[in-house]
């Protein structure tokens, strides 16, 4: 081998060694790069862990803390979803759960979600991180879509909390994430340690705050109680375990007259009791104190001046944490005035009961709160019953006594009163069937309901009066009235028939007299006699016509129709002109619509009588006798007539009697005395009003107001 060949081989060997070195260097360089990337990645994770730590310190509530843990798991460990459960075993309502990125979680209740998360921990140790594979996750429907999961849990027996932390990667997105490896265990343990530390600190802080608040509240409550005990009007005594006074409030000193230094170290019975104190109650009080029991009682005590007063007291024993008696607290109230009022009420009730008994008034009261019913003796007598052994049966007894025909209505009305908060009073009349003699009696009853400001019924009070005799009288009177109406109707028909029958021969006599005057030659004396007969016939006919008008007004119902007042009055004027002198003036004034709606026949009789009186009683000694009819029909549909004249007038002494039957205030006319009586009856029938003003020798004014109908 020549030298050249040797050199070439040497160069190849050196080149191979160089290539090997380069390859080793590149591999080492790549390892260094990978290590650097890994360190950078872990550094980023630790930075995120530090960020979580600072945020957790600022978290205001356990719910927010749970949310931050879930977000940190996703962020630090680069997983797709997270589940965090912080469970309070002692107070389940404080348990918090948060699921970050887990689909379909809304289909389950909080309890179901807790069971699913805790279920995975049964196969693994506490305080040890583990990786769940696809097979293990597929055992639960909620997690069946996930490929891998990181799990860690711990139980803190001191605080009563347990925590379960999970990070998950789904099957669908598994290629996009790095597989969970055991190398996460170190940082995961650090993370869990921080979670545990924060949770413990939070819970301890909450307990400390609660204790501070409790101490503050206790001090505040103590201050309040001290203030109440000092300012209350009730007497307060604090005694030691032997019953000797340690402290009394100001009210005690005001009520009894004793100062605190006078009674300290003494027992209340040594100076508060006297001759009128009930020894039986004192013995009962002493027995309760010996047995360390609570007691309430009322005693007559005596103040420093020797004056007795009623004292309502309650004594309560106070025990320490070892159940050892340390004090007695006695709260006492001066009820002297209340007892005086109570005695007065008892007297009043006694008097009221006596009045009710003498007046035969049955009284009952129902207390719906205590479900008690009380009847007085009169009510038992009314129902013909003996007092039952229990009041609870009275309600059913009352219903059974109501007459069958009245029962449904009476009970329904009573129920309506009870159920309707706006109702307070119920008045009823119904029949009962007495228990002892089965006699049917009529009762008049009143029920009053008492309610509080919210409308809740406090009690029912009622009265019952036996009105059987009154009802019998009422029924008898009603029967008599019916009979009287029948008789009056028959009498009206009789009067109408007789009057009508009497008028026919009178009209015949008038006709015969008219023929005699016109067709026969008779002497003057016979003529005068016949004229007198004619006047009598005319007067008798007028009387019969007025009787017929009265009878017609009594018999017939009001018949409303439309008519023209102007036409009616002009017709009346025309009829009356033939019976008076030519110088008599008829005047008519209209204001408003002359068409009215009323009983035409009755209005015509009214106006004819009233205007006819002005003509009939005109003065003969004046030149201008007149009658003025003033008619007003206003927008309010009021109908008013004013009839005025300058005739004889009516003496003042007769004005109160002019509407009486057959009363005549003037002797200048041969009237029957029925005209104004008939007018008054028509006015009553029409629900109208009439008023007459008159002065003798000056004239008369009649005011007539008739209600108009539509």
Task: Please indicate, yes or no, if residue 122 is contained in any of the structural domains.
Answer: yes
The pLDDT confidence band at residue 669, using thresholds 50, 70 and 90, is: low
Supply the pLDDT for residue 610: 87
CATH number of residue 595's parent domain:
3.30.565.10
Supply the pLDDT for residue 442: 92
CATH number of residue 421's parent domain:
3.30.450.20
CATH number of residue 518's parent domain:
1.10.287
Query: Which whole number is the average pLDDT over 583-612?
Result: 87
* Phi, psi angle pair for 463, to nearest 5°: -130, 155
Cα separation of 705 and 77, whole Å?
106
Task: Please indicate, yes or no, if residue 16 is contained in any of the structural domains.
Answer: no
Cα separation of 263 and 330, whole Å?
14
Spatial CB neighbours of 209, under 8 Å, sequence gap ≥ 6: none
Task: Please indicate, yes or no, if residue 32 is contained in any of the structural domains.
Answer: no
CATH number of residue 117's parent domain:
3.30.450.80
Task: Please indicate, yes or no, if residue 611 is contained in any of the structural domains.
Answer: yes
Cα separation of 571 and 675, whole Å?
19
Q: Which runs of E-coded beta strand occur in 335-453? A: 361-367, 372-375, 425-433, 440-451
* Same domain, residue pair 406 and 478: no
* Same domain, residue pair 320 and 354: no
Percent of the chain with pLDDT over 90: 7
Least confident stretch, 7-16, 473-482, 690-699 = 7-16
Task: Please indicate, yes or no, if residue 165 is contained in any of the structural domains.
Answer: yes
At residue 128, does pLDDT exceed 80? Answer: no
* Same domain, residue pair 611 and 662: yes
At residue 654, does pLDDT exceed 90? Answer: no
The pLDDT confidence band at residue 222, using thresholds 50, 70 and 90, is: very low
At residue 48, does pLDDT exceed 90? Answer: no
Classify burial at 452, counting beta carbons within 10 Å of its beta carbon; exposed 0-12, middle 13-18, buried 19 or more: exposed
Mean pLDDT across the chain: 79
Residue where a domain stops, chosen among 301, 334, 367: 334
Residue where a domain stops, chosen among 311, 334, 357: 334
Supply the pLDDT for residue 444: 92
* Same domain, residue pair 602 and 531: no
Which pLDDT tens digit goes with each residue over 362-392?
Answer: 888 888 877 788 888 888 888 888 776 556 6
* Same domain, residue pair 477 and 462: no
Cα separation of 691 and 700, whole Å?
11
Q: What is the dihedral of CA 337, 338, 341, 345, to 10 degrees?
A: -170
* Same domain, residue pair 588 and 641: yes
* Phi, psi angle pair for 11, to nearest 5°: -65, -40
Task: Please indicate, yes or no, if residue 37 is contained in any of the structural domains.
Answer: no
Cα separation of 163 and 172, whole Å?
28
* Same domain, residue pair 453 and 477: no
Query: Does residue 142 sit in helix, strand or coil?
Result: helix
State the total domains in the chain. 5
* Domain around 265: 234-334
Which pLDDT tens digit goes with each residue over 312-324?
Answer: 888 888 887 778 8
Residue where a domain stops, chosen among 181, 202, 223: 202
Give whole-number Cα distances, 147 to 100, 514, 644, in Å.
16, 141, 119
* Same domain, residue pair 167 and 143: yes
- Count of other CB atoms within 10 angstroms of residue 550: 21
The pLDDT confidence band at residue 673, using thresholds 50, 70 and 90, is: low
Cα separation of 84 and 77, whole Å?
14
Task: Please indicate, yes or no, if residue 226 is contained in any of the structural domains.
Answer: no
Extract the tokens encoding 3: 């030298």
* Same domain, residue pair 568 and 699: yes
Cα separation of 216 and 337, whole Å?
40
Is-contact 156 196, C-beta < 8 A? yes
* Same domain, residue pair 673 and 568: yes
- Count of other CB atoms within 10 angstroms of residue 375: 22
Supply the pLDDT for residue 406: 92
At residue 564, does pLDDT exceed 80? Answer: yes
* Same domain, residue pair 514 and 574: no
Task: Please indicate, yes or no, if residue 2 is contained in any of the structural domains.
Answer: no
The pLDDT confidence band at residue 500, using thresholds 50, 70 and 90, is: low
* Same domain, residue pair 600 and 672: yes
């Amino acid at each position: 081998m020549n030298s050249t060949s040797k050199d070439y081989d040497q160069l190849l060997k050196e080149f191979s060694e160089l290539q090997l070195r380069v390859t080793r260097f590149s591999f080492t360089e790549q390892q260094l790069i990978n290590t650097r990337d890994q360190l950078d990645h872990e550094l980023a994770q630790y930075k995120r862990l530090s960020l979580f730590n600072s945020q957790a310190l600022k978290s205001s509530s356990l719910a927010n803390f749970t949310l931050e843990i879930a977000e940190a798991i996703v962020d630090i460990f680069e997983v797709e979803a997270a589940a965090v459960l912080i469970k309070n075993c002692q107070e389940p309502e404080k348990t918090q759960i948060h699921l970050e990125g887990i689909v379909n979680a809304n289909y389950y209740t909080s309890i179901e979600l807790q069971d699913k998360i805790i279920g995975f921990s049964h196969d693994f140790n506490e305080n040890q991180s583990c990786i769940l594979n696809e097979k293990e996750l597929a055992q639960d429907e909620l997690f069946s879509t996930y490929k891998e999961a990181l799990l860690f849990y711990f139980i803190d027996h001191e605080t009563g909390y347990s925590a379960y932390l999970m990070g998950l990667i789904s099957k669908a997105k598994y290629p996009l994430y790095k597989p969970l490896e055991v190398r996460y265990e170190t940082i995961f343990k650090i993370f869990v340690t921080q979670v545990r530390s924060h949770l413990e600190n939070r819970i301890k802080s909450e307990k400390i705050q609660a204790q501070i608040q409790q101490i503050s509240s206790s001090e505040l409550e103590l201050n309040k109680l001290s203030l109440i005990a000092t300012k209350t009007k009730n007497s307060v005594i604090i005694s030691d375990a032997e019953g000797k006074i340690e402290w009394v409030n100001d009210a005690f000193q005001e009520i009894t007259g004793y100062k605190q230094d006078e009674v300290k170290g003494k027992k209340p019975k040594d100076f508060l009791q006297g001759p009128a104190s009930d020894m039986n109650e004192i013995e009962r009080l002493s027995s309760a104190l010996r047995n360390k029991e609570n007691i309430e009682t009322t005693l007559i005590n005596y103040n420093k001046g020797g004056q007795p007063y009623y004292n309502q007291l309650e004594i309560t024993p106070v025990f320490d944490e070892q159940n050892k008696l340390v004090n007695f607290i006695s709260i006492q109230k001066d009820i002297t005035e209340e007892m005086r009022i109570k005695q007065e009420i008892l007297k009043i009730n006694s008097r009221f009961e006596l009045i009710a008994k003498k007046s035969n008034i049955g009284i009952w009261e129902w207390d719906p709160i205590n479900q008690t019913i009380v009847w007085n003796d009169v009510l038992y007598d009314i129902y013909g019953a003996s007092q039952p052994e229990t009041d609870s049966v009275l309600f059913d007894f009352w219903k059974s006594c109501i007459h069958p025909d009245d029962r449904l209505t009476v009970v329904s009305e009573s129920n309506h009163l009870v159920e309707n908060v706006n109702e307070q009073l119920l008045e009823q009349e119904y029949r009962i069937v007495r228990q002892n003699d089965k006699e049917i009696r009529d009762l008049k009853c009143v029920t009053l309901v008492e309610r509080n400001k919210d409308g809740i019924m406090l009690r029912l009070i009622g009265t019952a009066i036996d009105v059987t005799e009154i009802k019998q009288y009422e029924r008898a009177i009603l029967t008599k009235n019916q009979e009287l109406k029948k008789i009056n109707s028959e009498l009206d028909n009789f009067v109408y028939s007789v009057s009508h029958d009497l008028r026919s021969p009178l009209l015949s006599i008038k006709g015969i007299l008219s023929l005699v005057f016109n067709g026969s030659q008779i002497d003057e004396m016979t003529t005068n006699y016949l004229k007198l007969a004619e006047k009598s016939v005319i007067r008798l006919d007028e009387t019969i016509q007025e009787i017929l008008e009265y009878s017609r007004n009594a018999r017939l119902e009001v018949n409303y129709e439309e008519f023209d007042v102007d036409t009616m009055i002009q017709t009346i004027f025309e009829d009356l002109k033939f019976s008076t002198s030519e110088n008599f003036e008829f005047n008519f004034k209209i204001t408003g619509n002359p068409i009215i709606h009323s009983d035409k026949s009755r209005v015509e009789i009214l106006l004819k009588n009233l205007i006819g009186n002005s003509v009939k009683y005109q003065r003969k000694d004046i030149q201008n006798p007149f009658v003025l009819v003033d008619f007003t029909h206003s927008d309010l549909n009021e109908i008013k007539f004013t009839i005025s004249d300058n005739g004889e007038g009516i003496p003042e002494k007769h004005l109160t009697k002019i509407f009486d039957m057959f009363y005549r205030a003037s002797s200048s006319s041969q009237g029957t005395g029925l005209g104004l009586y008939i007018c008054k009856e028509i006015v009553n029938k029409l629900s109208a009003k009439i008023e007459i003003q008159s002065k003798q020798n000056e004239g008369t004014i009649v005011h007539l107001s008739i209600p108009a109908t539509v």
